[in-house]
Amino acid sequence: MRRPLAVLALLSAVSLAAAGCASSAPTPAASEDPVSGSIEVYAAASLQRSFDEIATAFEAAHPGVTVQAVYDGSSTLATQIGEGAPADVFASADEKNMAKVAAQAPDPQIFAGNTLVIAVPAGNPGKVQGLADLARVTTVLCAPEVPCGAASATLLSNAGVSVTPASSEQNVTAVLTKVAAGEADAGLVYATDAVGRDDVESVVPVGADAVVNRYPIAALTDAPNPAAAAAFVAFVLSADGQKILADAGFRAP
């Protein structure tokens, strides 16, 4: 009877040891993406095409996140943010309008640059060759308070050209729309706005390289979804985000 009892004791000891090892083993770390929910990205109108692509890529990298983008002139967006719009991220076409919301965006980072071109309807019916021609044809410009308007004023001033615009638009998209529709012979827009379009042509004016808009981006301090906001900003600054912007014609920061 002693041998069976000894075997049973040995088996019990082995079982207890195994149970002890199992209980002390570390629990596998959760693999779920901590970024989820939805975010609202307020971005300059000139960013629409590239930011639509960035949003798609970001959502693919973070399947639990939905990006809602609002595009308009940077001055309009800054005003809305200052009045309490529920934005998570602000991407401005210049540093001046980002500075207007410094209390909500204390740590903006430059992520791209852009310069101006003269946009003309396909076929260039006004025979526009340079900035001086804008004074003799029907020209539309961005309003002075909008980044593309401020840049246009600087570019024209540097060239010694005075232009009375047929209209002053609140964002660069509106300028391009009027030119493409033939409602104007020319307009000053960002170089990126004319890329890939067959309804407009672009003329690079002398002095364009001297007037560069620097684009800052920031996650807002009162963002409804701060984790996703920070992740979106990081994605824009990443190699993947920068490639999308470069492919759209933006300059490196």
Domain assignment present for 47? yes
What angle in degrees, to the nearest 10, is found between the helix axes of 48-61 and 239-247?
150
Mean local confidence (pLDDT), 139-166: 97
Examine the domain organization and report whether 87 and 141 are in the same domain. Answer: no
Tokens representing 41?
């990205």
Percentage of the chain beyond pLDDT 90 is: 85
Tokens representing 98?
């980002």
Helical (H) or strand (E) element with 210: none
Length reported for the chain: 253
Domain assignment present for 8? no
Measured from the Cβ of residue 50, the count of other Cβ atoms closer than 10 Å reads 22
Give the dihedral of Cα atoms 27, 28, 29, 30; nearest 10 deg. -110
Whether pLDDT at 235 is above 50: yes
Domain assignment present for 127? yes
Please, what sign has the CA dihedral across residues 106, 243, 192, 208? Answer: positive
Report yes or no: 125 and 184 within 8 Å, Cβ to Cβ. Answer: no
What angle in degrees, to the nearest 10, is found between the helix axes of 239-247 and 226-237?
60
Whether pLDDT at 186 is above 80: yes
> Residue 59 maps to which CATH number?
3.40.190.10
* SS3 (DSSP) at 113: strand
Examine the domain organization and report whether 198 and 231 are in the same domain. Answer: no
Return phi, psi of residue 241, to 5°. Answer: -65, -40
Cα distances (Å, whole numbers) of residue 239 to 198, 235, 242, 243:
29, 8, 5, 6
C-alpha span between 136 and 157 (Å, rounded): 16
Mean local confidence (pLDDT), 219-229: 97
Measured from the Cβ of residue 203, the count of other Cβ atoms closer than 10 Å reads 17
Residues 49-100 pLDDT 10s: 999 999 999 999 999 999 999 999 999 999 999 999 999 999 999 999 999 9
Radius of gyration of the chain (CA): 28
Average pLDDT score, the chain: 90
pLDDT of residue 34: 83
pLDDT of residue 192: 96
* SS3 (DSSP) at 230: helix
Show the domain range for 89.
37-113+215-247
Cβ neighbours for 243, distance < 8 A, ≥ 6 positions apart? none
Measured from the Cβ of residue 17, the count of other Cβ atoms closer than 10 Å reads 10
C-alpha span between 186 and 178 (Å, rounded): 9
pLDDT of residue 160: 98
Domain assignment present for 185? yes
pLDDT of residue 201: 97
Residues 90-127 pLDDT 10s: 999 999 999 999 999 999 999 999 999 999 999 999 99
Domain assignment present for 253? no
Domain count, the chain: 2
Examine the domain organization and report whether 122 and 200 are in the same domain. Answer: yes
Whether pLDDT at 18 is above 90: no
Cβ neighbours for 138, distance < 8 A, ≥ 6 positions apart? 126, 166, 183, 184, 185, 186
Residues 20-51 pLDDT 10s: 444 444 443 444 678 999 999 999 999 999 99
